[in-house]
Chain A
Amino acid sequence: MEIHLNRVDYIQVGVTSQKTMRLLPALGKKATQKVAIADHDGVLTCFGMKKGEAVPVFKTLPGQKIARMDLGGAAGTPQEKIFVCSGSQVRGFTKKGKQFLTFEANLTESINAMHVSGADLFVCASYIYNHYCDCKDQDYYLSGDKINDITCLTSENLTRLVPVLACQDRVLRVLQGSELAYDIEVPGPPSVLELYNKDGGNDLSAGEEILYGTTDGKIGLVQIGEDSAATKWEIDNDKKKGGILCIDTYDIVGDGVNDILVGRDDGTVEVFGFDSSSEPTLRFEHVLSESVTSIQGGCVGKESYDEVLTATYTGWVTGLTTEPQKTEAGPGDEVRMSKETQSKVEALRAELEQLQVRVLQGREQYQQTSQSSTAVSAVPVFSINDKFTLCQDDASYSLTLEVQTAIDNLLLQSDVPIDLLDVDKNSAVVSFSECDSEPNGNFLLATYRCQANTTRLELKVRSIEGQYGTLQAYVTPRLQPKTCQVRQYQIKPLSLHQRTHSIDQDRPMNRLSLVGQFSFAEIHSWVVFCLPEVPEKTPAGESITFYFHNTFLGTHLEATYCKGEGHFRSDNISTISILSDVLSKEATKRKINLNISYDIDDDSVSHTLKMIHPKLEYQLLLARKVQLIDALKELQVHEGNADFLIPEYRNILDESASLLEEYKKQPAHLERLYGMITDLFIDKFKFKGQNVKTKVSSLLEILDNYDLNSLLNFFNDVDM
């Protein structure tokens, strides 16, 4: 069952954060709903649509940036009170715009997630969770990693309020008072939580189910029980769409079952419906040009037409409505509609003219200050929405940058060798500049000149483990007076590692142990320096264990450490080698004496090679096949048909399209595998105190005529 939704733009406010737009409950059965939206200028706007025009209900004065919004109200009454949080303050407004609550949470950090339920208020600020009832402190919890979102279950089956936290370390933490009840492992860092069937629903488990979305674009449904949870379903992100920013449930298809509305950070809006087997299936997809920060289902533009309402990063409120577009309406309608638009356009033009005059005055004044020797020029900081994440599938980093106004150009600079990959979606003209690694330490200097109206840029970079440094992006938007802002991204020594929940303990492991006069905080900071996805805050307790896996090779790493002692175990000897190099360097920097010991398992090298083997074999075969395609096609043309070819070759011809696509998807995959095998070889003998760099050429020869056994033999037999 497909649905068609037409796009309508309503208004534009300032830059918005995640989950800052809500629809107020409808008054009548078929009446349109009012929209409440809050932005970074601190303005809370409430508006309704009348004859295609946005009519404001109220608008607050500018102030501190608003990070979240929620609706609340006494239990059993319409949830129409608006709560917003900015800084560490929570304010409440009635639907008419009257402020009835100002609550200072007295947190040292800004609130970034909030949930309101009756008289209960739940707020989170990075690692801290606080529960207030009637503005009085109730519970408190300190999470192990950053909290991205919070929601709270209320159900007749549950005896109490159950808050659930979405934490960056890939778990949902279910709380009981100030204590952790249990946690739920999810496949990616969760970024958003939403109650499934929030209005109660009809089946028994209603009100106990939570939808989550992850920063790597996965969605799932979990059922929260008293002391355990069950995953109902998960939707993977095969098509590599953006991360999830917002979720809502609403029956837009009109089949009586609530659909799931999803907004992603690459501008994708999706509607998932349920087929007879209760599996979610994609029913509708639309791509807006910027991050979708909030999504709601309801009725805004025209009564009795349902729609999906979205708010984007730059503050556009856009509806995807079931109301048919005017092209399909009768000729009479068309005239009326264009008259409306006409007046809208005229009003806009008039406003533009006025603004133009004011801007000209502003420019003149600004010019005049440049004559004065005492005046300074301080242009306010523009906001950049950026994300630098490791993609698991191709072991490369994706960098997305989003600015509230069009980007003019971007300068990328790196002090570590990295490869910049081409991204189809990115239409900017890239140009690589000559680099001077001496004396300025540049390994990459590239400019992106953007096409007009580009507010969002997506880039991909590939790093090499062991080479670490900083990637800097200088973003210049098309805004006078022209300024640029620099953002820094760390390329960590073990950049291709990702946190995981558990590792396979049966593999042959190499161990690196450190003993020395260092504090828990010190060794934690070194681990943060080496590995991605480790929380910056020193964990609570005496000691900690983190698990990682290498996204490219699939090898594992276990890091356990406490004050004065650290143990790192990995089946990949290169990982251990990199860690030992970096850690000893860091310790030397702080003049700390380290006692380093190794426990090398020789089997681990063969084990790693055997793990690489299927990947390498597949890649080699693919490369060989792709190489043959053109020649085979020529033969086919020459002979008129392919019947004379052996089945293997005919197969290649038949599959040529998919082979080529596969090959194109993973550029330099083979070279990367070769590089890692070479590292493995060098590192194996490094731990034996032998330098085998001279033998690398013979290794490469063996790789050129690859065969697992001869490679294993070479690793074992090399006579030093």
Chain B
Amino acid sequence: VFSIVSVLKLFPAALKPATLTLATYAWLARQLGTMLVPIFTLKLNHKINPRMVTVGKFDGVHPCLTAATQAGKVFIHNPHARGQRPVTHRLSQSTQDSDISLLNINQAVTCLTAGTLGPNTTGDTLLVGSQTNLLAYDVHDNADIFYREVTDGANAIVMGKLGDIPNPLAIIGGNCALQGFDYEGNDHFWTVTGDNVRSLVLCDFTGDGKNELLVGSEDFDIRVFKEDELLSEMTENETVTSLCHMHGSRFGYALANGTVGVYDRTARYWRIKSKNHAMSIHAFDLNADGVVELITGWSNGKIDARSDRTGEVIFKDNFSSSVAGVVEGDYRLDGQQQLICCSIEGEVRGYLPASKDLKGNLMDTSSEQDLIRELSQRRQNLLLELRNYEENAKTNSGVGVIPANTQLQTALSVRPATEAQKAHVELSISTPNETIIRAVLIFAEGIFEGESHVVHPSAQNLSGCVRVPIVPPKDIPVDLHIKAFVGGKISTQFHVFEITRQLPRFSMYDIAVDSSVAPPSGRVAFSINDRPQRVVMWLNQNFLLPEGVDSPDVTFTSLRGGGLLSISMASNGQITLRTDDIDLAGDLVQSLASFLAIEDLSAEADFPGYFEELRTTLTEVDEFHSVHQKLTAAMADHSNYIRNMLVQAEDARLMGDMITMKKRYRELYDLNRDLINEYKIRSNNHNALLACLKSVNQAIQRAGRLRVGKPKNQVISACRDAIKSNNVNALFRVMRAGTASS
């Protein structure tokens, strides 16, 4: 409830240019040479943690920019209603800026969002996640709605409706786990995922009118969950740091290596890579053409808007420091949404969508000029190419000349470890004649430290053959884009041969088997209704086999771990995979199932070694829990003791008994040191606990990956039940048999 007066002084000096009319704005735009300028600029004087920015209407009317800042605080910028805020509980007024209220979380904030959670609330609920807790807070009433402990942490948060669950949920992603809470703090949704979650978004991926949950994680995967059922997995090549919904089934993503792009369902529309990092992405229709653009805020302070279809830049602007977040809201309360960009130093700029007469052209250069320039450039390129052919026909000598029939030969082969070299896949590249290969560049995603690998022999080691050792760290299929510089020994100009070779998914497995190695004890068995020939086809496509195989019964040596992997198929269609590596077994099951287009697949499994490890981990979890409780109790004791000591010391001071006072304070100092030490123990204990919990979550995920479709979800939820009821034996039964019963 706000008085007229407070509405009138809505935009004080801080939002300076807001009084400009559209006409003056267009004039200003032309004067400045850029067609789109910020409609307001704020300097908030508070740092903003990257990716922890949101806009919430906490009173149901006024949007407030809310962001996590230093020292475990969250600030709420509310320029709309001054002098009406009660100062109690968590909220306190910032003395630096009267428009800002600070919310004390007392823990490092890891994520936050705002939105409608409860059924009968007037305004948005603010949700703040930390490594151990999730707080749902009513800013307007200044009261906690719920405060839950979340053992898996909250790295990312999203609020909204998921699938058929009736109430909106606050879904957090932590260490390998996803959890959804309703307004009462009840946990309505729980599942596990492959690795630590870094980004979440809700969108109608299937087009059935209900939201699916998209999860980006540190194992480079974007997973799509229809409630707790895993629908699809898209493998990228770096940690997925941000996701945002564009429109329909289209969504944008950003990776830790500076890639941003757009997917439509499982198909990638476009992507671009920059040397800077994308800090935040957001969908907003900046050029007012009815279709949202992907707005990216970069680590170098750049903001750009890219067409959702082509990735072409239609607008850019620069901040002086890294962008922290990109959000939108009707910050001027005039019925128009503004794009709001914030930098980590607390600078905020709001942009209004372009007016219609700009015709979608937000850049200052005239597009006609650009078109002509582009066409001329193309003409120039063609002319140059033509000249290349003409000169080539004329001259028959000179530097950098190679026989016209030079062809590059490439071969991939598996090389087991030798004394001098680790086990690797060898890519050999050779020329058939006296020409030499000066250098080889291989561009590939996910297998090298950067995006490329270079082999550059020294001048005395030049030859017509280059062998490149490749050690793919994960079992993923990779396209190797090879560029080889071919010429003479003293050439300064080389021909560039470009070839793309595919490295099959399971390339680090050697068909040669050392009979002395003990057979693996772990196994997974399942039945398929398909001919053995199809399995043979799958083998030939996914393994590096020099001659190919014709039977589905094969044994490989793993070049990474050294253990064996054997695959066998019985006449009744039962396939048994034997390996001690449960991850590999999961990968094989998933790869085979998708090759044979199997939707549901149940399996029996046993991985004695791994299960034993897991059992130890589970006991450790219990131990860490009890240590945690003991330490908490000890800490409470100490704090009582401190209180007493302090009173005694102050008493002594008032009495003028300096000797006792000194003694007490010295004791207090010792106690303080003890407390710090104890804190260190506690935090170590906590970290160890977190690591254990993560591996438990991973175990559930791994057990799930041995199955496909419904049986997979059954295993995951049955495992979860077993853990909840603390029934370790049931857990292992589920993992082995695939169901809780029997």
Contact = CB atoms under 8 A, between A and B. Distances in A.
Interface of A: 7-9, 12, 314-315, 325-328, 338, 341, 344-345, 348-349, 351-352, 355-356, 358-359, 362-363, 365-366, 369-373, 375-382, 404-406, 409, 411, 413, 415, 422, 424, 426-434, 439-442, 445-447, 449, 453, 474, 476, 478-486, 630, 633-634, 636-638, 640-641, 657
- Interface residue SS majority, chain A: mixed
Interface in B481-509: 483, 485, 492-498
Contact of A378 (B46, B365, B398): B398
Contact of B379 (A348, A409, A429, A433): A348
A369 B407 CA distance: 12
B456 interface: yes
B96 to A, nearest CB: 6
29 contacts: A8-B369, A9-B369, A9-B372, A315-B380, A345-B371, A345-B375, A349-B375, A358-B382, A359-B389, A362-B386, A365-B393, A370-B404, A376-B402, A376-B404, A378-B392, A404-B380, A411-B441, A411-B454, A413-B454, A413-B456, A430-B275, A431-B451, A433-B453, A474-B438, A481-B392, A483-B400, A637-B70, A640-B96, A657-B345
A424 B369 CA distance: 27
Contacts, number: 228
A147 B345 CA distance: 50
Interface stretch (B183-191, B442-450, B601-609, B664-672): B442-450
Contacts of B94: 637, 640
B555 interface: no
A315 B381 CA distance: 13
B102 to A, nearest CB: 8
Given A7-B365, A362-B385, A431-B450, 9 more contacts: A12-B376, A345-B372, A370-B404, A378-B397, A381-B400, A405-B384, A426-B275, A440-B457, A640-B96
B383 A355 contact: yes
Contact of A328 (B30, B372, B377, B453): B30
> Of B365, B371, B379, B391, which is in contact with the most chain A CB atoms at under 10 Å from its CB?
B379
Contacts of A377: 392, 401-404, 406, 495
Contacts of B451: 429, 431, 447, 449
Interface of B: 30, 46-47, 69-71, 73, 94-96, 102, 258, 273-275, 300, 345, 365-366, 368-369, 371-373, 375-393, 395-407, 438-439, 441, 443, 448-454, 456-458, 461, 483, 485, 492-498
Contacts of B102: 637
A370 B396 CA distance: 14
B70 A483 contact: no
B258 to A, nearest CB: 7
A12 B380 contact: yes
A479 B385 contact: yes
3 smallest beta-carbon distances between A and B, as pairs: A431-B450, A640-B95, A362-B389
A376 B403 contact: yes
A355 B495 CA distance: 24
A359 B389 CA distance: 8
Contacts of B441: 409, 411, 447
Nearest to A351: B379
Contacts of B456: 411, 413, 440, 442, 445
A411 B439 contact: yes
Contact of B495 (A379, A380, A453): A379
Nearest to A368: B404
Contacts of B407: 370
Nearest to B377: A453
Contacts of B380: 12, 314-315, 404-405
B458 A483 contact: no
B70 to A, nearest CB: 5
Contact of A433 (B46, B406, B438, B452): B452
Nearest to B361: A327
B389 A365 contact: yes
Contact of B274 (A9, A429, A431, A633): A429
Given A359-B386, A362-B390, A449-B443, A373 B405 contact: yes
B258 A429 contact: yes
Given A434-B453, A641-B95, A378 B400 contact: yes
Most buried by B among A406, A439, A483: A483
A9 B373 contact: yes
A355 B403 contact: no
Contacts of A486: 438, 492-494
Nearest to A337: B368
A379 B379 contact: no
A379 B453 contact: no
B180 to A, nearest CB: 33
Contact of B458 (A328, A359, A376, A439): A439
Contacts of B483: 409, 476
B73 A359 contact: no
Contacts of B454: 411, 413, 433, 445-447
Given A379-B495, A381-B399, A429-B273, A341 B372 contact: yes
Query: Considering residues B71, B401, B407, B454, which has the most beta carbons from chain A within 10 angstroms of its beta carbon?
Result: B454
Contacts of B95: 640-641
A484 B494 contact: yes
A201 to B, nearest CB: 34
Contacts of B395: 378, 380
Nearest to B390: A362
Residue among B47, B393, B404, B453 facing the most chain A CB atoms (10 A cut-off) = B404
B379 to A, nearest CB: 6
Contacts of A476: 483, 496
Contacts of B273: 429, 449
A476 B452 CA distance: 15
Contact of B461 (A352, A363, A439): A439
A427 B388 contact: no
Contacts of A449: 273, 443, 451-452
Contact of B47 (A362, A633, A640): A633
A348 B391 contact: no
Contacts of A641: 95-96
Contacts of A430: 275, 450
Contacts of B461: 439-440
B573 to A, nearest CB: 45
A478 B456 CA distance: 22
A365 B275 CA distance: 40
Nearest to B397: A378
A446 B393 CA distance: 35
A405 B483 CA distance: 19
Contacts of B405: 370-373, 375
Given A429-B275, A483-B400, A486-B494, A638 B71 contact: yes
A30 B298 CA distance: 50
B400 A379 contact: yes
Contacts of B401: 376-378
Contacts of A434: 448-449, 453
Contact of B396 (A345, A378, A406, A431): A378
A185 B17 CA distance: 52
A372 B407 CA distance: 12
B493 A485 contact: yes
Contact of A637 (B69, B383, B384, B385): B69
A345 B690 CA distance: 64
- Counting chain A CB atoms within 10 Å of each CB, the highest count among B95, B378, B441 belongs to B441
B493 A381 contact: yes
B493 A355 contact: no
B192 to A, nearest CB: 34
A474 B454 CA distance: 12
A405 B275 contact: no
A633 B497 CA distance: 55
B457 A380 contact: no
Contacts of A328: 30
- B73, B395, B450, B493: most-surrounded residue (chain A CB, <10 A): B493
A712 to B, nearest CB: 39
A476 B275 CA distance: 20
